[in-house]
Amino acid sequence: MFTLLHGFYKYLKQKDEYCVLILGLDNAGKTTYLEGAKTKFTKNYKGMNPSKITTTVGLNIGQIDIQGIRLSFWDLGGQEELQSLWDKYYQESHAVIYIIDSHDRDRMNESQEVFDKMISNDHLSGVPLLLLANKQDLPDCMGVREIKPVFQHTGHLIGRRDCLVMPVSALTGEGVDDGIKWLVDAIKRNSVVRPARSTD
pLDDT at 122: 94
- What region, left, alpha or beta, does residue 65 occupy, with left being phi > 0 and alpha being psi -120 to 50 degrees? beta
pLDDT at 20: 98
The answer as to whether 197 is a domain residue is: no
55 assigned binding-site residue: no
Per-residue buried b or exposed e for 123-155, using 16+ beta carbons within 10 Å of the residue's own CB? ebeebbbbbbbbbbeeeebbebeebeeebeeee
Is 152 annotated in the active site?
no
The answer as to whether 47 is a domain residue is: yes
Residue 52, φ and ψ in degrees, nearest 5 = -95, -10
Q: Would you say residue 55 has pLDDT above 90?
A: no
How far, in Å, CA of 149 to CA of 75, rounded? Answer: 26
Whichever domain contains 126, its CATH number is 3.40.50.300
Nearest alpha-carbon partner for 98 in 36, 161, 25: 25
154 assigned binding-site residue: no
Question: Among the options 14, 67, 79, 152, which is catalytic?
Answer: 79
Number of domains in the chain: 1
SS (H, E, C) the chain: CHHHHHHHHHHHHCEEEEEEEEECCCCCCHHHHHHHHHHHHCCCCCCCCHHHCCCCCCEEEEEEEECCEEEEEEEECCCHHHHCCCHHHHCCCCEEEEEEECCCHHHHHHHHHHHHHHHCCHHHCCCCEEEEEECCCCCCCCCHHHHHHHHHCCHHHHCCCCEEEEECCCCCCCCHHHHHHHHHHHHHHCCCCCCCEEEC
Q: How does residue 3 score in pLDDT terms, banded at 50, 70 and 90?
A: low
Q: Are strands 95-101 and 59-66 parallel, antiparallel or unpaired?
A: unpaired
pLDDT at 199: 59
How far, in Å, CA of 26 to CA of 78, rounded? Answer: 4
The answer as to whether 1 is a domain residue is: no
The answer as to whether 46 is a domain residue is: yes
- Quick one: average pLDDT of 64-83? 93
- Quick one: average pLDDT of 87-103? 96
24 assigned binding-site residue: yes
68 assigned binding-site residue: no
pLDDT at 136: 97
The answer as to whether 91 is a domain residue is: yes
Do residues 97 and 183 touch, judged by C-beta distance below 8 A? yes
Residue 21, domain extent: 15-190
The string of pLDDT tens digits covering residues 105-120 is 999 999 999 999 999 9
pLDDT at 5: 53
Residue 100, φ and ψ in degrees, nearest 5 = -110, 130
pLDDT at 158: 87
Which residues, in sequence order, are bridge partners of residue 176? none
The answer as to whether 9 is a domain residue is: no
The string of pLDDT tens digits covering residues 11-36 is 555 789 999 999 999 999 999 999 99
Q: Would you say residue 92 has pLDDT above 90?
A: yes
The answer as to whether 78 is a domain residue is: yes
Q: Which of 36-45, 54-63, 122-131 has the lowest mean pLDDT?
A: 54-63
Q: Would you say residue 100 has pLDDT above 90?
A: yes
The answer as to whether 198 is a domain residue is: no
Q: Would you say residue 93 has pLDDT above 80?
A: yes
The string of pLDDT tens digits covering residues 138-189 is 999 999 999 999 988 888 888 889 999 999 999 999 999 999 999 999 999 9
